[in-house]
């Protein structure tokens, strides 16, 4: 019997747990440990921080979904990893022994490296932080002022830095207060759109043009020195890393990307981690000194792709994490079966960035220069593609295993519970103005009368109640789909959404040559 312990219940850990449990033998065990009892879709955090998503849209308890597949879930932080005795000590007092360990804890924000960063700026690294950022932003729009969106030296995964700046711009325009707000983007990158990848390609010109078009100022080669209550102190350096000039930026609202380090329970694992507490892995995503320990996601020590005057970390995305997860699962199974391992090199960089009403897609293959492919494409279709991908991934995590029939009437029960909680109302509730396209549905006479009678007894408009019940029924129906069904529905949904876009053109495309 093989026991695989996975630390972390995020995008990396849950996906790997599902795949391993499906492919291991019936007597083999998979245990997932997380300090959070829920899964949350990290790429949607900027939307939460703008009030464009609710927490419940992207976060939900993960234990039931793991356990429905026969995966044990333990809600606890990690106290210590002891690879010499193949043991993990948990904060709740439990001790786990493993045959294989997969570390997928994500990373910790090293906010103490910039004085004042934690105290005076917001963050969207975690959903809790995104909710606090939203509260601060709602207060800000009552008293607008300068905005600074920045990244500390050594910060990685910088795509969301630009995404959030463009979302802020779009939201302020919708509120008709954009002209009252200056937005400054502060980045350690040597040029806009570097993203930790190097190789100028198409991204530099495309990102620069987008910043100019939205009137967002940018300071590159920026070393953030200190953040006070209402002022950010920046040193801009030249190509040699020497001081070029200093900037003192006033701000009324600021969001910052810190550099990453290992989470406390992993950071102390001698022999597994580097000086920043990130897990050292080889090309097979396993630790060189402990070959039964693998790592995946933001907790991995990735060397910088390009040498820059101010340190810039390597990028990451759901796509690259998913691809790495496939390699990890394949290599754990190969190691169990004494088969050849598969290398994760070369890597690909691929992600989607929302820009309000439009978006940008980026692909770099391989990630490390020299590259065969390096392009960026921009258009309304990317915005919709990111929305669609969020729904696809969340649905995939919530997918019931094929061997288990989903429970029925769950969402319909929620609708009826909410309606019945207001049964004292005798005045019919007017139907809210909907933004969706009308859908004509002809019911047989009996259920039509039943629906109207039900709505009347509850003081609801029949069309309003019908819309809520239909939406709930569709959600319940989706839970019966297998993985192939979810894929087919995601494809069909994308096709329908693209047809509904007011702009049928795919958008402006920027093609970059190999660099």
pLDDT in tens, 22-34: 999 999 999 999 9
Task: Mark whether 94 and 230 lie in a shared domain.
Answer: no
The residue behind tokens 């009030």 is 51
From residue 102, give the alpha-carbon distance in Å to each of 7, 157, 432.
6, 22, 49
Task: Mark whether 285 and 333 lie in a shared domain.
Answer: yes
Is position 276 within any domain?
Answer: yes
Task: Mark whether 241 and 120 lie in a shared domain.
Answer: yes
Between 207-211, 354-358, 419-423, the lowest mean confidence (pLDDT) is in 354-358
Asked which of 191, 226, 259 is the last residue of a domain, the reply is 259
For residue 39, the model assigns a pLDDT of 95
Range of the domain at 266: 3-107+262-345
Do 12 and 39 form a contact (C-beta atoms < 8 A)? no
Task: Mark whether 75 and 194 lie in a shared domain.
Answer: no
- Please report, for the domain that includes residue 330, its CATH number: 3.50.50.100
pLDDT in tens, 482-492: 767 777 777 77
Mean pLDDT of the chain: 82
What confidence category does residue 388 fall into, taking pLDDT thresholds of 50, 70 and 90? Answer: confident
Task: Mark whether 76 and 122 lie in a shared domain.
Answer: no
- The domain tally of the chain equals 3
Instruction: Give me the helix-helix angle, 410-420 and 462-478, nearest 10°.
Output: 150
pLDDT in tens, 269-301: 988 999 999 999 999 999 999 999 999 999 999
Q: Write out the DSSP string of 34-74.
A: ESSSEEE-GGGHHHHHHTSS-HHHHEEE-HHHHHTTT-EEE
Conformation bin of residue 182: beta by default, left when phi > 0, alpha when psi is -120 to 50: beta
Is position 365 within any domain?
Answer: no
Structure tokens at 234: 């920046």
Structure tokens at 513: 């040559």
Is position 352 within any domain?
Answer: no
Separation CA 28–CA 5 (nearest Å):
11
Task: Mark whether 246 and 176 lie in a shared domain.
Answer: yes
Structure tokens at 343: 């290398």
pLDDT in tens, 449-466: 888 888 888 888 888 888
- Start-to-end CA distance of the chain, whole Å, equals 48
Give the pLDDT mean for 38-50: 92
- Please report, for the domain that includes residue 132, its CATH number: 3.50.50.60
Separation CA 364–CA 315 (nearest Å):
11
Burial bucket for residue 439 (CB in 10 Å: 0-12, 13-18, 19+)? exposed
Task: Mark whether 324 and 457 lie in a shared domain.
Answer: no
Is position 290 within any domain?
Answer: yes
Is position 383 within any domain?
Answer: no
Asked which of 227, 244, 259 is the last residue of a domain, the reply is 259
Separation CA 430–CA 407 (nearest Å):
32
Is position 509 within any domain?
Answer: no
Separation CA 373–CA 364 (nearest Å):
6
Name the β-bridge partners of 271.
Answer: none
The rounded percent of the chain whose pLDDT value lies above 90 is 53
Is position 486 within any domain?
Answer: no
Between 278-292, 364-378, 422-436, the lowest mean confidence (pLDDT) is in 364-378
């Amino acid at each position: 019997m093989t026991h695989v312990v996975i630390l972390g219940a995020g995008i990396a850990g849950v996906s790997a747990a599902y795949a391993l449990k499906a492919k291991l033998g019936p007597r083999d065990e998979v245990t997932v440990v997380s300090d959070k009892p829920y899964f949350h879709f990290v790429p949607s955090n900027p939307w939460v921080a703008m009030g464009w998503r609710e927490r419940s849209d992207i976060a939900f308890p993960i234990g039931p979904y793991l356990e429905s597949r026969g995966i044990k879930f333990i809600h606890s932080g990690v106290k210590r990893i002891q690879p010499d005795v193949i043991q993990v000590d948990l904060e709740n007092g439990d001790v786990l022994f493993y045959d294989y360990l997969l570390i997928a804890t994500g990373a910790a924000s090293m906010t103490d490296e910039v004085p004042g960063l934690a105290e005076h700026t917001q963050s969207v690294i975690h959903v809790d932080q995104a909710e606090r950022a939203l509260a601060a932003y709602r207060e800000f729009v009552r008293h607008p002022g300068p905005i600074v969106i920045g990244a500390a030296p050594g910060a990685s995964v910088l795509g969301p830095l630009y995404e959030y700046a463009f979302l802020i711009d779009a939201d302020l325009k919708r509120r008709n207060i954009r002209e009252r707000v200056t937005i400054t983007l502060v980045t350690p990158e040597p040029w806009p759109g570097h993203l930790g990848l190097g190789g100028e390609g198409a991204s530099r010109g495309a990102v620069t043009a987008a910043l100019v078009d939205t009137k967002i100022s940018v300071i590159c080669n920026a070393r953030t020195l200190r953040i006070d209550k209402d002022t950010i102190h920046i040193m801009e350096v030249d190509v040699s890393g020497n001081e070029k000039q200093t900037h003192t930026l006033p701000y009324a609202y600021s969001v910052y990307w810190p550099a990453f380090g290992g989470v406390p329970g992993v950071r102390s694992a001698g022999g597994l981690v580097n000086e920043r507490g990130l897990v050292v892995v080889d090309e097979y995503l396993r630790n060189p000194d402990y070959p039964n320990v693998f790592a995946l996601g933001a907790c991995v020590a990735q060397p910088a792709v390009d040498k820059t005057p101010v340190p810039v970390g390597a990028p990451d995305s759901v796509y690259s994490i998913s691809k790495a997860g496939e390699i990890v699962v394949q290599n754990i199974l190969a190691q169990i079966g004494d088969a050849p391992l598969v290398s994760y090199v070369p890597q690909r960089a691929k992600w989607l960035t929302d820009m309000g009403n439009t978006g940008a897609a980026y692909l770099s293959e391989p990630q490390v220069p020299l590259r065969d492919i390096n392009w960026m494409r921009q258009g309304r279709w990317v915005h919709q593609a990111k929305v669609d991908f969020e729904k696809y991934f969340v649905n995939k995590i919530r997918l019931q295993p094929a061997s288990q029939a989903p429970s029925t009437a769950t969402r319909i029960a929620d609708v009826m519970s909410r309606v019945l909680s207001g049964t004292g109302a005798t005045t019919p509730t007017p139907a809210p103005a909907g933004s969706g396209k009308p859908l004509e549905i002809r019911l047989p006479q009996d259920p039509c009368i039943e629906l109207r009678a039900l709505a009347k007894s509850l003081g609801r408009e029949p069309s309003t109640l019908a819309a809520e019940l239909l939406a709930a029924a569709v959600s319940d129906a989706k839970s019966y789909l297998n993985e192939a069904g979810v894929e087919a529905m995601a494809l069909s949904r994308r096709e329908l959404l693209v047809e509904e876009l007011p702009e049928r053109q795919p958008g402006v495309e920027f093609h970059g040559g190999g660099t």
